[in-house]
Chains A and B, each alone.
Chain A
């Protein structure tokens, strides 16, 4: 037996049962779903009829609970399933949700919540204000420990092959923390400026806001922070790492090699990158056209790497990896990409005027562009490289550029935007054509491309319909130059003899660890995968660096947490369902002016203004709630934030169970005639209690619509209670009294305000309750009998309450108020239905836990050994809840003594 009794729920009832059972010497496990004990009472202002402040009553009980030698608390935990065993005891699964904070280290200093960049409605303030995703439940929380709210991984983060925290930097930018945003991206890769321009932004394809009016401009926000950073400083702006005495050689300085070098250097490795070309950057410098990725941006990004002491040896082609290792490196990373263009494979391919796409783009970047002025150019292929070629050819003055692709437009692998932009820039397309022969004139120069019409057949293995020739459809496209961009592959020569080679000349690696058959040799990027994109290469570079570090340090290689251990991606539907309406936000679109005949290689896309960046990032829906921006990690002086922490489930055996799961408040928007949720100045009783509480969100009672201090305040009792139309014919018992209490508190806080309560019956039933009600009348509150029919709103936010004035002749009256408080009632907390997995816990017809013999056996349910305390068994005020919880404790003790199921407790 782990505990004598498990108490579920730490509201006032659960705490009382736990303390009393602990006092009697039983070992108690108290499970609470929130991060603090205390339930709802601690959130109240004062309590009737003594007007003690709720904190003064509940606070010490919370403290006693948490400090009791016989009580163990599991907070932020949920009971998943309880089963009764044959011996009469119970076993239960308790899921301890991850707080993402090491509570042993957390001091409750709230630095994390100050730093946090994500705001969510504060449930502990009844939604009146916002709290942060990193938060301490409320000021008197016990224990006072922080929690980070994470619903899962945001789709943008989940969709990034580089593992960049897109949501994180968007939320940092929204908070004006531009440099922090830059640093967050830099944590993944040095190529911040590059990705801000040349990335195809898979994050944006996943963005939930895209289901509303348009995606958040995530990529251009990245460029915004990169531009800002580089305008202020060259280099990364981070402290130089201390050397760990180990060294790594990286072959290839494309995005994979640069990212791996950056990561390893930050860990203290001496890194040398060997680059065959005369300049570093790989395809970033030799393939991507400068109108998409200006030269200086690549240089700024590379300077981040070299600033850390990474050496880049250019014009150094590595042919012997073993010899390289023998130079004394602890490991070698191969990241040589896909430099070999796939030949066109048709007769005449060698003709003058036929180029591969890679060669063409490289020549253009190196200032050695072929003369295409006035020529007709055919680009063969349908990928992004083909688009780059076609658009570059246009810029070189080609009279006509025609892309020939063997499938249709829909099947083109190129990015949609690239195809569209190419078209705007005057590129023509020939779909469903395949080259057969290069037509060559007598001088050996190209004069045309003979093609064949194709038609789409059955889908192939990749799901794309494979093109089949249409017999007799040959024709010639007249042209003076042909650029073939139909594919590319790695150059296997350096490793072909050393380790396994996979199809297409790729090096074979373990996909998780990126290690080859040769232990010291790792490989990353396109050399392992074939042509992909920059983000894939960055992700692989990060992974390789992590694995190389683990390998050199003698650790297990394992998973790469930044990519492999993400929380499950959140469901976009759930994100959109979090609120009922979304205000329309004008999409922030790039102000790019395309020319139908582009003349130069100037960067096409303009930078975002700061206003655009703030507006663009401001639309973020915070899908995962926590954005993983790391602001809390940086801010925490105790180093307590652990975003990698995961939930745990434990199996626990107990002798008895107390269900004290409390109640839910009536959702006032289910009574649409009162306008809650529509009229800003219609609030609930719980909201008024928060406005009056010592830890109130504002320093006075004000109405939410415009912050005005109200003069005329109305209460509407029985909202959601005694109402068959809502399926709740029961009286909620507490609403009359809490309203009367608030009436008095308001008259104390706002002495000039008029307080009126519209009631059905004033149910002041309890010790000193009626006297309390009389006192309220004496203080000047007005009580009007009759149920309010309808509330409507005036333009200035004032409210018109329509009712039948029963006691004065029954005429219809429309009274005007500044603020209306709905005295919402109590509803059963139906979470109890999921607690028991074996036998069902009996409920009454209104879904409260049934007490089959409530008269003589309060607290006893229909399962032997299972007891109920407080409002889980039906509406109760605090006093009755406490007495009922005390009774439940006596029942538990009798049960345990009777069944002799007992552990040895401390007292």
Chain B
């Protein structure tokens, strides 16, 4: 592959962003500009309050066009945030987007060195000079245009996955719905009336299943797991193993939506008395409530007193630090159901904060109005559960709302309000190379900029696999993933970054060392002029660069990050720092 050479000297525009103080509070941006404005090939050197603002984008476009720039460098934040933004600016100005280099002087300079303004500034200067050096050797690359397939694989047949499948079908996309279990429906399918509108989870799932059945473009695979994914963005070949069948189902899809849901926290035996008869988790309790009528009984005995202990397995410093978001509301909702069935039942809610946000607050109010008593225990003094001599249960709690008095509550049932935990899904995580956050849930690229996308192109996440969500929130994120998929697939083609490795076949000796280094299996050996040489598939290559240093002949180069560019960058950054 050869790219048109850009005539020298280059004409490079450099913009250094204040980020409204995020950078300029620690890095002297004017000094950075002054340090490089006289660098060779630098034609424009400006500072700007917000490089990403529309106004500055217009200024850049004007500069590129009027001053005939052939390279662009923006020193601002992480490329994760705005590389695409500024490549778009270049494109709109008629400049090849691959002559653009983003220099991260925020995360790498200002935020990292808030205690050392001079050092942060010196580092920023070095980084920007390296960026200029990289752009100076940039070439005009052309994006790889790939055809996209109008089909999506949805992994997980819970409420989010089902609704997403229907949403995809409704805008004309084909769907493979892959569910590990033997039946669809997930957690919601097991629920009775749910908050806030008392619609039955079971009914919801029945309705969705009927809708799925009406849509021939949805293929449902149950007892099925994704075992491999190959191909490239927009053209994935995904193999599914269906339990009990030898042959793999091979599908070709444009995108993948992961909606694998969550598991509920399972307390250890002994944790808040778990294991003692009458100590139930929230799912166990809701099942008990939903499957019976009239005054509640447990093991044949009428339940007169219920104590709820909140935040079991959540908000634990050193453990699951996150909040599961739905459990407070689910619990107050359950307590209302109980009170409606028998208004004389005593219900004690031992909590840390009641997080019935938004409209769910009405349920909290209703719960109090129907007789539930709420006690708040200090973080450091959790309640204890004990089996008393008479065989009954008792909960001991320090209630900070009544002068930190220690109360002992004899009780018939203890409900451990357990939240959600990430679902055990190591195989899928590994097949799709999904990013996992510190909390164990799948991570989006950015919660606000790209909330359903993952760093794996074309692979989206939706529902509670991303983090705890209520049922309606899970559905909303499922539909958001539909929108994101459709935005990619409805066009019928996609442009991929040509930042891929290439082999100089003249230099290649066919030694085979690079093949195992590629995690994407993008490299193969081919016959060329009677000898074996390596070939890298541009569509499959992710541009990770892992093969480049492996090659003993230096025959592999990474477009956009060529050896020359990297050496020049290092050269620029390693020059003696400006004082």
Contact = CB atoms under 8 A, between A and B. Distances in A.
Interface of A: 12, 20, 23-25, 47, 50, 52-53, 55-57, 59-64, 66-67, 108, 139-144, 693-695, 722, 729-733, 761-771, 774, 785, 806-810, 844, 846, 854-856, 858-859, 874-876, 878-880, 882-887, 889-891, 893-894, 897-898, 907
B77 A883 contact: no
B400 A886 contact: no
Given A856-B208, A878-B448, A887 B361 contact: no
A882 B451 CA distance: 8
B321 A56 contact: no
Interface string B475-505: 1111111111011001100000000000000
B376 interface: yes
Interface of B: 18-22, 49-50, 52-55, 57, 77, 81-82, 85, 88, 92, 159, 163, 167, 170-172, 194, 197, 199, 204, 207-208, 314-315, 317, 321-323, 325, 328, 353-362, 365, 376, 378, 400-404, 437, 439, 441, 446-449, 451-452, 466-468, 471-473, 475-484, 486-487, 490-491
Given A24-B487, A785-B400, A886-B479, A55 B52 contact: yes
A890 B85 contact: no
Contacts of A762: 353
Contacts of B92: 67
A758 to B, nearest CB: 14
Contacts of A763: 353, 355, 357
A858 B475 CA distance: 7
B207 A886 contact: no
A140 B477 contact: no
Nearest to B196: A854
Given A855-B199, A887-B475, A55 B483 contact: no
A693 B403 CA distance: 40
A253 to B, nearest CB: 54
16 contacts: A12-B448, A20-B483, A50-B446, A64-B88, A141-B55, A729-B362, A733-B358, A761-B355, A767-B466, A767-B468, A768-B467, A807-B400, A883-B476, A884-B480, A886-B480, A890-B480
A523 to B, nearest CB: 54
Contacts of B467: 766-768
B353 A880 contact: no
Contacts of A907: 491
A64 B53 CA distance: 10
B171 A893 contact: yes
A56 B52 contact: yes
Nearest to A49: B447
A23 B446 CA distance: 19
Given A25-B490, A729-B365, A858 B479 contact: yes
Contact of B480 (A730, A785, A876, A883): A883
Contact of A882 (B172, B325, B448): B448
B19 A886 contact: no
Q: Which 4 A-B pairs have the closest CB atoms?
A: A694-B20, A886-B480, A23-B487, A887-B479
Given A20-B483, A730-B359, 12 more contacts: A57-B448, A62-B54, A67-B54, A730-B362, A765-B325, A765-B355, A767-B322, A770-B315, A879-B447, A882-B451, A884-B476, A886-B451
A859 B475 CA distance: 11
Contacts, number: 240
A729 B54 CA distance: 40
A108 B55 contact: yes
* Residue from B197, B328, B354, B448 with most neighbouring chain A CB atoms (10 Å): B448
A386 to B, nearest CB: 64
* Residue from B20, B54, B466 with most neighbouring chain A CB atoms (10 Å): B54
Given A694-B19, A731-B361, A63 B483 contact: no
Nearest to A692: B21
B54 A20 contact: no
Contacts of B314: 770
Contacts of B481: 886
Contact of B487 (A20, A695, A764): A20
B194 A855 contact: yes
A37 to B, nearest CB: 9
A769 B20 contact: no
B53 A142 contact: yes
Nearest to B24: A694
B475 A55 contact: no
Contact of A893 (B50, B85, B477, B486): B486
Given A56-B77, A57-B449, A761-B353, A809 B404 contact: yes
B20 A693 contact: yes
Nearest to A731: B361
Contacts of A810: 402-403
Contact of B197 (A67, A764, A771, A855): A855
A402 B12 CA distance: 90
A770 B204 contact: no
* Residue from A62, A722, A763 with most neighbouring chain B CB atoms (10 Å): A763
B479 A859 contact: yes
Contact of B401 (A25, A53, A731, A806): A806
A47 B305 CA distance: 43
* Residue from A846, A854, A883, A885 with most neighbouring chain B CB atoms (10 Å): A883
* Residue from B20, B50, B360, B490 with most neighbouring chain A CB atoms (10 Å): B20
Nearest to B326: A765
A883 B452 contact: yes
A731 B449 contact: no
A859 B476 CA distance: 8
A59 B52 contact: yes
Contact of A883 (B81, B361, B477): B477
Contacts of A767: 322, 439, 441, 447, 466-468
Nearest to B491: A907
Contacts of A854: 197, 472
Given A854-B472, A859-B479, A890-B486, A879 B451 contact: yes
Nearest to A140: B53
B478 to A, nearest CB: 8
B437 to A, nearest CB: 8
A890 B167 contact: yes
B447 A20 contact: no
Contact of A894 (B52, B167, B315, B451): B167
A764 B77 CA distance: 28
B476 A880 contact: yes
A401 to B, nearest CB: 71
Contacts of A694: 18-22, 49-50
Nearest to B327: A765
B171 A63 contact: no
A894 B365 contact: no
A769 B360 CA distance: 18
Nearest to A41: B448
B354 A761 contact: yes
Contacts of A774: 317, 321
Given A807-B400, A879-B448, A764 B323 contact: yes
Contacts of B55: 108, 140-142, 144
Contact of A874 (B163, B199, B358): B358
A887 B476 contact: yes
Nearest to B402: A810
B353 A53 contact: no
B359 A63 contact: no
B484 A886 contact: yes
Contact of A856 (B57, B207, B484): B207
A220 B82 CA distance: 59
B486 A144 contact: no
Contacts of A887: 475-480, 482-483
B483 A768 contact: no
A768 B479 contact: no
B54 A142 contact: yes
Contacts of B159: 856
Nearest to B322: A770
B57 A891 contact: no
Contacts of A52: 81, 446, 448
Nearest to A766: B325
